A and B are shown apart, each in its own frame.
Chain A
């Protein structure tokens, strides 16, 4: 119960906390409408807001408040009073606008703070605090930034492995069942649609691909364009700054344009260039997230270029200023003119001080001197010192000003830098607001209300509604924050100003997004961790810290303003404090600690530590990726196992033979083939009606195949040959069966076959003596038909099979199709078998092709018959013709497959002739018998012969078939093996083109003939040939009649 109560309380607290998270609801609303990308901008904005709050508190509590409370009030010291000659214009809008006048002498800037070491009754060390806080601002920013990055990367690491169920989770876990409020439901629905769209886009991005060369060249081009525009913009800024300085020097009166040229140009560049980059990015065709990053990086470089050109100009001024001070330290008067002259070089200077200065330029030296409060002597000294100054600085254009300034005032360069940064920030804000109003709001209004009275659709064509550009806006935030960091040391109130600015920006932007922006067309998920933004911010922080640190270390603080006035270097405050305010032992310790004796080892230690941590991180990364890989493989293994299980389920009913065979490799197949073959040899003649008795359906097939032979044998006078054939057949069949085994579903098919066979037998047997053959034909045709018709793909698979050795793949296939298409698989197996056969016999493929459709089978017969009919004179030719006619790509493919298979084990190849080839088998057997002596070279011949032969064999019922069984067997085996290899090459050649193949075949056929003839001559089996021919014709007739 207690735990429950605690839970409830924590939940309530959580809800309350959510209420206090600034803009949480607003951001959620935006997120639901515009997706996480846009929301990430606002979340980033809020986070920056948090940082600035802390910075504001730091500077406010430790610098501004003490100074206000305990410091000398305004007007009591020289650094806190406005010089008399500026008092009149101190309240002018112009002066205020350029942060001069009263603003300049306020807590806003460095110059206002006094250098009294202890202020107030409590003895607050303001200078020390000022320095410490200035450093703490950077330290805090660094620490929070790094911590946030570390946290994000941790989150992204833990979340990275969850990507596997993107879609499922987005569907099944998307709805929050707690939602009971219609508005929340609506926004949740919108958010879900958005997230799903994001996932879809990501998915589509994965699929996209274009030619690599084009892509690379496009990307190179894009990068060149970007580089050009970057250098162009930097050059323009440089040129404009230079020109403005020259103008200031040469012309007495500056027009409004000339005064504001630099700032306008810079802001124009910052506005236009990002859009140009975006256009360029479209060339590159990156994944949207990648392109976003590129865009961000480019814009960042652009902004940095701008910022740095400004900073360099500023530091340049500071440099000349401080050198001027060192030469002529005698100036006592305070005036803003010096600052104003400096500010002329900066783009954003809108002050009217410039005119004053120019006026002064016009006036003669003496006049200016008279106007000044300075005594004549100091004036003279300054003028005399002017000459060497000029030589040193070599800055011709500034010489005049330097003269003026030196004679007029004590320059406070820190205040000047602070002014510039604040000015920059203000102008940036104005531009932001203006661009939101003009580009988004006005455009939205125009598009919305003028689309009716315009000739084209404004909403979908040209102006459209503005898109919310995440990249640019985030970059703008970073840029803005960079300015704050840069100026915070010189203008302690800058963070406070930035807080106000960010608040305003948050409201303005969110309002603009919700009212006049449309969601980005390509929604995509900003990477879950916004580390990229943070990395850029870190980069910015570092780069912005550099000038500040440089100024602190390098330049001498102003002599008569600021907390560090009178010191040689700003950081001297530390050593001074240590020396004066700490006990002696502490300063001793400090001197030891800062001596090289300690610092060097410490530095070394640090380096070592960094290296060590780095190496640990690297190794962790490696192990992490390995673990992830392992996880993935395990998952796929799981899937495989499931597949196998399912396959096992399917196979279980089909009989025990399959399983071992599936597992078994080629060798096992061979063995099984052998094992199966012997029984057949023995009993094949008599057995043909007892297919069942072979336990395996495959065997039954073989038997069925053998059947035709058997009858022939029975009918024919040459009974001895029959067994040989049968053996051959049996072997091939066995091989085929093996292949078939490999696929689980085979058995079913085989069973069917068996069924078919009996039926036909019954039908045909009664008809004629040739019925046996006809049956065999039917079987052939039939099976092929089914196979072919159903599996064009299977062929390929089969061909691939040898490589597939993994059972999982096959099982998977079988699994997919098993119920509906169990027959298919079987067919496939047969195909393989046939292919094997094919290599030996091109005919068979033909048959298949012809047989593509069951109805065609009937037609096929006639074709064959026709072919055969012409044949009688030349058997070999006829088959070729038929081959040519019928050969198609699939055939070639099948051949290839068969070849591959044949390559492996020779015995198998011998066995290649499948049940489907009964006819072919018989032919083979005949050939083998006939060609027994030919041996290797004849394979091609054999094939063709077989092709020719089957028909002949069939027709010539058993006349030629049974010659010398005993020797034929071994011979045939030998032959078959070599033939396979040869046939492979031949088939390969043929496979490329049908025509080629046909020609090849022709040639081969011719060879065959010769060989055939030879063989005949050798064997003196001319009878067989003739008989075969005769048979063929006879069979054809028979077939025809049957058909």
Chain B
């Protein structure tokens, strides 16, 4: 398993400990039978690493196989693996795109941007400001002129951001 992630065996074990902690009654410590166990979103979101993150729900949802936010242990490890320091920029960009794509249509459209902004700023901006920022952001990054950001647009933009790697990163 650990060649699929950026974690060492030890770290995976530690992660499993955390995973187990989240729902001790659900998760067995012994994975030899490969049981199909999933932890619901509500529990994961309460992890201290995610608790303050405005996109916590989206993070968990985009890493869950079923899209509902229920994470198996594999999903769980994947999540922290992508968010770890070791993950390459491309991988991070893919998942960042998924996280910001609220309506899962493979495009970051204006509504997605508005949601992102509102979560980010806790709705402190006026609608006009939000509107302006959304338009500007799309205008800046939209290369193919379809008024929404495809992944190519997003990656192009994010790959030039100086602090993306350092901020899109959760230490666990």
List chain A positions with a Cβ less than 8 A from chain B: 7, 162, 164-182, 184-185, 189, 192-193, 196-197, 199-200, 203, 638-639, 642-643, 646, 812, 815-816
Instruction: Tell me the bound Cα distance from A175 to B100 in angstroms.
Output: 12
- Residues of chain B with a CB closer than 8 A to A172's CB: 96, 100, 116, 154, 157-158, 161, 164
Determine if B137 and A176 form an interchain contact, defined as CB atoms under 8 angstroms apart.
Answer: no
- Residues of chain B with a CB closer than 8 A to A167's CB: 133, 136-137, 140
**Provided the pairs A171-B116, A177-B170, A178-B169 are in contact, do residues A193 and B121 lie with their beta carbons within 8 angstroms?**
yes
Determine if B141 and A185 form an interchain contact, defined as CB atoms under 8 angstroms apart.
Answer: no
Q: Would you give 5 A-B contacts (Cβ < 8 Å), ordered by A?
A: A164-B160, A174-B120, A175-B54, A177-B168, A642-B144
- Residues of chain A with a CB closer than 8 A to B49's CB: 180
Determine if A171 and B120 form an interchain contact, defined as CB atoms under 8 angstroms apart.
Answer: yes
Contact with A along B47-60 (1 / 0, CB 8 A): 01101111100000
- Residues of chain B with a CB closer than 8 A to A177's CB: 53, 83, 167-170
- Residues of chain B with a CB closer than 8 A to A192's CB: 120-121
**Provided the pairs A196-B133, A197-B129, A200-B132 are in contact, do residues A643 and B48 lie with their beta carbons within 8 angstroms?**
no
* Residue B111 CB within 8 A of the other chain: no
Contact of A164 among B129, B132, B140 (CB under 8 A): B140
Tell me the residues in window 54-78 of chain B with beta carbons closer than 8 Å to chain A beta carbons: 54-55
Task: Determine chain A's interface SS by DSSP, over half rule.
Answer: helix
- Residues of chain B with a CB closer than 8 A to A165's CB: 140-141, 157, 160-161
Determine if A179 and B129 form an interchain contact, defined as CB atoms under 8 angstroms apart.
Answer: no
- Residues of chain B with a CB closer than 8 A to A178's CB: 167, 169-171
Instruction: Tell me the bound Cα distance from A203 to B49 in angstroms.
Output: 35
Contact with A along B142-153 (1 / 0, CB 8 A): 011100000000
* Residue B15 CB within 8 A of the other chain: no
Q: Which residue of B lies closest to A159 (CB)?
A: B162
Determine if A175 and B136 form an interchain contact, defined as CB atoms under 8 angstroms apart.
Answer: no
Instruction: Tell me the bound Cα distance from A174 to B157 in angstroms.
Output: 14
Instruction: Tell me the bound Cα distance from A448 to B11 in angstroms.
Output: 54
Q: Which residue of B lies closest to A815 (CB)?
A: B145
- Residues of chain A with a CB closer than 8 A to B132's CB: 200, 203
Question: How many residues on the B side are at the interface (Cβ–Cβ under 8 A)?
Answer: 42
Instruction: Tell me the bound Cα distance from A757 to B36 in angstroms.
Output: 65
**Provided the pairs A176-B167, A177-B170 are in contact, do residues A168 and B157 lie with their beta carbons within 8 angstroms?**
yes
Contact of A166 among B53, B83, B122, B140 (CB under 8 A): B140
Contact of A638 among B143, B161, B171 (CB under 8 A): B143
A155 to chain B, nearest CB (A): 11
Q: Which residue of A lies closest to B129 (CB)?
A: A200
Determine if B161 and A642 form an interchain contact, defined as CB atoms under 8 angstroms apart.
Answer: no
- Residues of chain A with a CB closer than 8 A to B41's CB: none
A353 to chain B, nearest CB (A): 59
| Further pairs besides A171-B137, A175-B167, A177-B169: 12, Cβ < 8 Å | A164-B160, A165-B160, A167-B137, A168-B157, A173-B163, A173-B168, A180-B49, A185-B52, A193-B125, A197-B129, A199-B133, A200-B132
Instruction: Tell me the bound Cα distance from A200 to B121 in angstroms.
Output: 14
* Residue B117 CB within 8 A of the other chain: yes
B69 to chain A, nearest CB (A): 18
* Residue B113 CB within 8 A of the other chain: yes
Instruction: Tell me the bound Cα distance from A481 to B154 in angstroms.
Output: 47
Instruction: Tell me the bound Cα distance from A227 to B132 in angstroms.
Output: 40
- Residues of chain B with a CB closer than 8 A to A170's CB: 133
* Residue B90 CB within 8 A of the other chain: no
Instruction: Tell me the bound Cα distance from A178 to B140 in angstroms.
Output: 27
- Residues of chain A with a CB closer than 8 A to B133's CB: 167, 170-171, 196, 199-200
* Residue B124 CB within 8 A of the other chain: yes
Q: Which residue of B lies closest to A176 (CB)?
A: B167
**Provided the pairs A181-B52, A196-B125 are in contact, do residues A175 and B140 lie with their beta carbons within 8 angstroms?**
no
- Residues of chain B with a CB closer than 8 A to A181's CB: 52
Q: Which residue of A lies closest to B48 (CB)?
A: A180
**Provided the pairs A167-B137, A178-B170 are in contact, do residues A173 and B161 lie with their beta carbons within 8 angstroms?**
yes
- Residues of chain A with a CB closer than 8 A to B100's CB: 172
Determine if A180 and B51 form an interchain contact, defined as CB atoms under 8 angstroms apart.
Answer: yes
B155 to chain A, nearest CB (A): 11
Contact of B136 among A203, A642, A812 (CB under 8 A): A203
Determine if A816 and B129 form an interchain contact, defined as CB atoms under 8 angstroms apart.
Answer: no
A825 to chain B, nearest CB (A): 15
